[in-house]
Chains A and B, each alone.
Chain A
Amino acid sequence: MTAVRSSTPAISLSRTPSPGRTVETGWHRTLRRFRRNPLSVLGALIVAFFVVVALLAPFLAHPTERNPFMIPHSGYASDPHPPGPGHPFGTTEEQFDLYYGVIWGTRTAFVVALSVVATAVAIALVLGSVSGYYGGPLDELVMRVTDIFLAFPGLILAVVIVAVLGQSVRNAVIAIAVVEWPTYTRLLRGEFLRVRDMEYVQAARALGSGDLHIIARHVIPNTIYPMLILASLNMGGIVITFAALSFLGLGAPIGYAGWGQLISLSHNWIVGTAGDPFTFWYTLIVPGTAIFLFVLGWNLLGDAFRDVFDPRLQGSR
């Protein structure tokens, strides 16, 4: 499913942020709450598994091309081949190795998702802080601009941007970041608005602390939790959007190690041959399972974060 933006109700922490350090007790409590829910643990395990795979990619699947993200060919025959010696998961059409594609596709997924989140957060930090902290007409302008961007269904905006910029992983990342930044900006702005009027901030201002100092030292650290929740819930959505773009021919090029790209190669083969419609099942199931597990893991983890860091929503699970 495409990235449904703002899929979570507005999150705001109601507990009083304490500038002091009571981290240890807080973390212990958090960890315990986390461990209590089996689904959270499952999510964490899945994500950890994928992190390990991504880090160990060069050892799990030796790159043979100059660009390790390009899946090696073995021969030029066009029919996909089932799992067998040398190809534990089989091959797609044009003989791209599915095992290699899935392993390095994990790296692609992380690179893309983290790039998008980083870009969106960077934009949000600048725009959201300026907008929330200073308010006034600047705030209005930023809000109207986010309105316009949010008026587009996300996937469609991404499709248009990539179509214009040209098909490549980099442009797909840019496109998805353009789709996601309004949500992060709005979240950050909301937090800024809330914090701006807190007593200790007023006090700091009265004492003559510079605005930048206040933003950096007081405001931003307290917005980490909501951002963390949003980002972790978003990771799955970003990867799905990227896969969707690749599936539409607007993301990773053919032969690139990306799950969506692998699935787009399966499109012509899902009805199998005249005798057996499931002949080429692996071309869809293998990369499909990879995406499913990855997104599942992040969704569970994100849910867990939300439960753990936002006590108000705990009862509704």
Chain B
Amino acid sequence: MRTVTWIQRAAVLAVAAVVITSLGAAAVRGAGEPVKNPETLVELQFGDVASLDPALAYDIYSTEPIWPNVYETLIMYSGSSLDKFQPMLATEVPSLANHLISADGLTYTFPIRTGVHFHDGSVMTPDDVVYSVRRFLLQDQAGGPAWLLLSPLLGVDSTRDDSGKIQVAFADVARAVSAQGGSVVFHLKKPFAPFLTIIAAWTEIMPRAWAAAHGDWDGGPGTWQKYNNPKIEDRYAFDHMNGTGPFTLERWDRQAKEVTLVRHDGYWRRPAALQRVVIRSVPEFATRRLALQQGDADLVVASANQQSQLRGIPGTVLQDNLPQIAVQTLQFNYKINTEANPDVGSGRLDGGGIPADFFADVHVRRGFAYAFDYAGNLGGAYAGKGVIPHGPIVQGLLGFDSTVPVYTTSREKAVAEFKEAIGGKVWETGFKFTIPYTAGNTARQTGAQIVKDTVGALNPKFQIEFRPVPSSTLISLLLAHKGTMYFLGWFADYPDPHDFAQPFLSANGYFPVRGGYRNPEADRLIDEAVGTADPAKRKALYKQLSMIAYNDLPYLFLVQPVTYYTMRSWVHGWYYNPIFPGQYFYTISKR
């Protein structure tokens, strides 16, 4: 009566087959095993490519395939250096010495290399260089990187004014960047010390003919307005690439979240060693780790608190403590919009809330600064991966100065400051408010917890809560000036102290616009420091700015993080430069 039906038999066979074939594939590859896929490098990260158009992409995941792997710029950082350049698509690096930078610092001349072929076979000319830069300036997608060059070249941050009307003329752009013989000449509005670093990372060259043939701007003076502020999907260059770099785009599979590059054999230098590169986005850490373990992935990116699970895997190497030109901060909102604001409690200094100008009092800010547990934050939120910064000018930048003082945890000093705050009223009445932080960001959650614990321990009347919000809500809060304190980070656009001083301390810098910090002396120093080319002079000026940041205390500088990559030991030729958005595959080989 217990008859074995054919269904049962089939099921048993199927299961057996699957099990048997699977067993064969589960081995972990250790050291000394032969290289898997020697011609292909596979990198697994966890971000999303937004666009492959060099004029419009502004996040590190998009720019990794773009620069310097598929597109190249006029000059390049020399090895791991952040301030020494070598020629790339230009044949010389402009300087005062070789007179390619004019004495007044307003004119830069780049002689353009000949005999360089794009991926479609056409030859690069100075006309293509001019077109690419003008396109970068004029397409100016909302939220894109165009302001980086618009600012020094045209003196504005956007081609459009606040109401959306175009505010630049083609003639200005034509004057700012033009071809002269075999060179391309830039005319600046004012002397701008970091100009070369911006050129090095943000002037990717593409052919004009190719772009125009595929529905993009043709370079003409009358038509450019139509192409201004495009929707992300409207450009052929969104998902097609044509540059001069050592790799070409084979395809961007948006569903598999995978970008595949293949070697460009007509590269103007010696072709790359790798035949193929695959960059894949895998949000699941466990999958990335196992792929590395089994040798299917060659290089894996992970976050700081996952490093413990990546140590000690046989056949792999962990490149640790790679410095980043970045800083994580906790920011005060000097003028909180208390209307319909759930985070300010009663909106008054009555023990049940905070008033709009609560953080405008320097004693309040100092109280928070002395109470915070910096070491605990670094150890807990960042797994110890980083250093405590000395103000906005971080390590690796010109002007970094380790003698600039930092606030250290001191309970007595914190108590003393709070007792003086707002004429002593803060200590008597107490306060209550909530810190909104980006949901899912455990580092920031830990930071908020620390603020609550440390400040709350000083006086039972100090009540601080924190709540997670989706990033879309945080952005709304920032826009409406409703947040109380913000956990925000800043990553370098280019490795110059101006890229840190300005967003943090200038009146129209990103953060002061959100938080309300103002100091005209800082503005003056920033303008002076960016206008002079003398490094010694700049160092002194940035030291003064760091001291202003210390004394005014608009932000708590929490951590300058370091990063790490884990890769198979058969990966050779890899090197690190903090300004690279991702890996530079040209020098890598697998043996």
Query: Does a CB–CB distance below 8 Å link A and B in the complex?
Result: yes
* Interface positions of A (Cβ within 8 A of B): 66-67, 73, 75-79, 93-94, 166-167, 249, 253-255, 268, 270-271, 273-275
| Contact yes or no, A77 B380, CB < 8 A | yes
15 contacts between A and B (CB under 8 A): A66-B463, A73-B449, A76-B376, A76-B380, A77-B379, A79-B308, A94-B445, A166-B473, A167-B468, A167-B470, A249-B440, A271-B286, A274-B293, A274-B311, A274-B313
Which residues from chain B contact A76 at a C-beta distance below 8 Å?
A: 376-377, 379-381, 446, 449-450
6 nearest A-B pairs in the assembled complex, by CB-CB distance? A76-B380, A78-B305, A271-B286, A253-B468, A76-B446, A268-B285
| Contact yes or no, B467 A253, CB < 8 A | yes
Q: Which of B456-509 contact A (CB under 8 A)?
A: 463, 465, 467-470, 473
| Contact yes or no, A166 B312, CB < 8 A | no
Q: Does B317 count as interface, using CB distance less than 8 angstroms? A: no
Count of residues in B whose CB is under 8 Å from the partner chain = 32
Which residues from chain A contact B408 at a C-beta distance below 8 Å?
A: none
| Contact yes or no, A249 B446, CB < 8 A | no
Which residues from chain B contact A75 at a C-beta distance below 8 Å?
A: 380
| Contact yes or no, A254 B305, CB < 8 A | no
CB nearest to B309 among chain A residues: A273
Which residues from chain A contact B439 at a C-beta distance below 8 Å?
A: 167, 249, 253-254
Q: Does B540 count as interface, using CB distance less than 8 angstroms? A: no
Nearest CB on B from A70, distance (A): 9
Q: Does B577 count as interface, using CB distance less than 8 angstroms? A: no
The answer for the CA separation of A77 and B381 in the assembled complex, in Å, is 7
Which residues from chain B contact A275 at a C-beta distance below 8 Å?
A: 312
CB nearest to A279 among chain B residues: B309
Q: Does B388 count as interface, using CB distance less than 8 angstroms? A: no
Nearest CB on B from A23, distance (A): 49
Which residues from chain B contact A166 at a C-beta distance below 8 Å?
A: 469-470, 473
Knowing that A76-B380, A274-B312, A274-B313 touch, tell me 7 more A-B residue pairs with CB under 8 angstroms: A76-B450, A166-B469, A254-B442, A254-B468, A268-B306, A273-B308, A274-B309
CB nearest to A249 among chain B residues: B440
Q: Does B363 count as interface, using CB distance less than 8 angstroms? A: no
Q: Does B264 count as interface, using CB distance less than 8 angstroms? A: no
Which residues from chain A contact B305 at a C-beta distance below 8 Å?
A: 78-79, 93
Q: Is the interface of A mostly helix, strand, loop or mixed?
A: loop
The answer for the CA separation of A270 and B305 in the assembled complex, in Å, is 15
Q: Does B383 count as interface, using CB distance less than 8 angstroms? A: yes
Q: Does B538 count as interface, using CB distance less than 8 angstroms? A: no
The answer for the CA separation of A167 and B469 in the assembled complex, in Å, is 7
Contacts known (A76-B449, A78-B305); A93 close to B293, Cβ less than 8 A: no
The answer for the CA separation of A250 and B3 in the assembled complex, in Å, is 49
Which residues from chain A contact B308 at a C-beta distance below 8 Å?
A: 79, 273
Which residues from chain B contact A66 at a C-beta distance below 8 Å?
A: 463, 465
| Contact yes or no, A255 B445, CB < 8 A | yes
Which residues from chain B contact A268 at a C-beta distance below 8 Å?
A: 285-286, 306
Which residues from chain A contact B467 at a C-beta distance below 8 Å?
A: 253
Of the listed residues A67, A79, A271, A275, the one surrounded by the most CB atoms of chain B closer than 10 A to its CB is: A271
Contact with A along B308-320 (1 / 0, CB 8 A): 1101110000000
Which residue in B286, B380, B465 is a CB contact (below 8 Å) of A270? B286
Q: Does B119 count as interface, using CB distance less than 8 angstroms? A: no
Q: Which of B305-353 contact A (CB under 8 A)?
A: 305-306, 308-309, 311-313
Nearest CB on B from A69, distance (A): 13
Which residues from chain A contact B383 at a C-beta distance below 8 Å?
A: 78
The answer for the CA separation of A271 and B446 in the assembled complex, in Å, is 24
The answer for the CA separation of A271 and B473 in the assembled complex, in Å, is 33
Which residues from chain A contact B543 at a C-beta distance below 8 Å?
A: none
Which residues from chain A contact B286 at a C-beta distance below 8 Å?
A: 268, 270-271
Nearest CB on A from B457, distance (A): 13
CB nearest to A67 among chain B residues: B465
Q: Does B290 count as interface, using CB distance less than 8 angstroms? A: yes
Nearest CB on B from A279, distance (A): 9
Q: Does B390 count as interface, using CB distance less than 8 angstroms? A: no
The answer for the CA separation of A301 and B146 in the assembled complex, in Å, is 64
Nearest CB on B from A96, distance (A): 11
Which residues from chain A contact B365 at a C-beta distance below 8 Å?
A: none
Q: Does B280 count as interface, using CB distance less than 8 angstroms? A: no
| Contact yes or no, A78 B442, CB < 8 A | yes
The answer for the CA separation of A73 and B313 in the assembled complex, in Å, is 31
The answer for the CA separation of A275 and B309 in the assembled complex, in Å, is 10
Which residues from chain B contact A255 at a C-beta distance below 8 Å?
A: 445
The answer for the CA separation of A77 and B293 in the assembled complex, in Å, is 25
CB nearest to B312 among chain A residues: A274
Contacts known (A76-B450, A255-B445); A271 close to B468, Cβ less than 8 A: no
| Contact yes or no, A271 B290, CB < 8 A | yes
The answer for the CA separation of A249 and B381 in the assembled complex, in Å, is 20
Nearest CB on A from B432, distance (A): 10
| Contact yes or no, B440 A254, CB < 8 A | yes
CB nearest to A79 among chain B residues: B308
The answer for the CA separation of A304 and B36 in the assembled complex, in Å, is 59
Q: Does B208 count as interface, using CB distance less than 8 angstroms? A: no
The answer for the CA separation of A76 and B376 in the assembled complex, in Å, is 8
The answer for the CA separation of A79 and B312 in the assembled complex, in Å, is 17
Q: Does B289 count as interface, using CB distance less than 8 angstroms? A: yes
CB nearest to B443 among chain A residues: A78
The answer for the CA separation of A250 and B371 in the assembled complex, in Å, is 34
Which residues from chain B contact A273 at a C-beta distance below 8 Å?
A: 308-309
The answer for the CA separation of A67 and B467 in the assembled complex, in Å, is 12
Which residues from chain A contact B470 at a C-beta distance below 8 Å?
A: 166-167
The answer for the CA separation of A181 and B473 in the assembled complex, in Å, is 29
The answer for the CA separation of A273 and B467 in the assembled complex, in Å, is 31
Contact with A along B171-202 (1 / 0, CB 8 A): 00000000000000000000000000000000
The answer for the CA separation of A142 and B476 in the assembled complex, in Å, is 37
The answer for the CA separation of A93 and B446 in the assembled complex, in Å, is 11
Which residue in B289, B376, B377, B463 is a CB contact (below 8 Å) of A271? B289
The answer for the CA separation of A84 and B286 in the assembled complex, in Å, is 26
| Contact yes or no, B290 A254, CB < 8 A | no
Which residues from chain B contact A78 at a C-beta distance below 8 Å?
A: 305, 380, 383, 442
Which residues from chain B contact A167 at a C-beta distance below 8 Å?
A: 439, 468, 470
The answer for the CA separation of A109 and B290 in the assembled complex, in Å, is 35
Which residues from chain A contact B376 at a C-beta distance below 8 Å?
A: 76
The answer for the CA separation of A94 and B383 in the assembled complex, in Å, is 11
The answer for the CA separation of A66 and B453 in the assembled complex, in Å, is 12
The answer for the CA separation of A3 and B469 in the assembled complex, in Å, is 27
Contact with A along B418-457 (1 / 0, CB 8 A): 0000000000000000000001101001100110000000
Nearest CB on B from A242, distance (A): 17
Nearest CB on B from A6, distance (A): 30
CB nearest to B289 among chain A residues: A271
The answer for the CA separation of A270 and B286 in the assembled complex, in Å, is 8
The answer for the CA separation of A275 and B311 in the assembled complex, in Å, is 11
The answer for the CA separation of A255 and B437 in the assembled complex, in Å, is 13
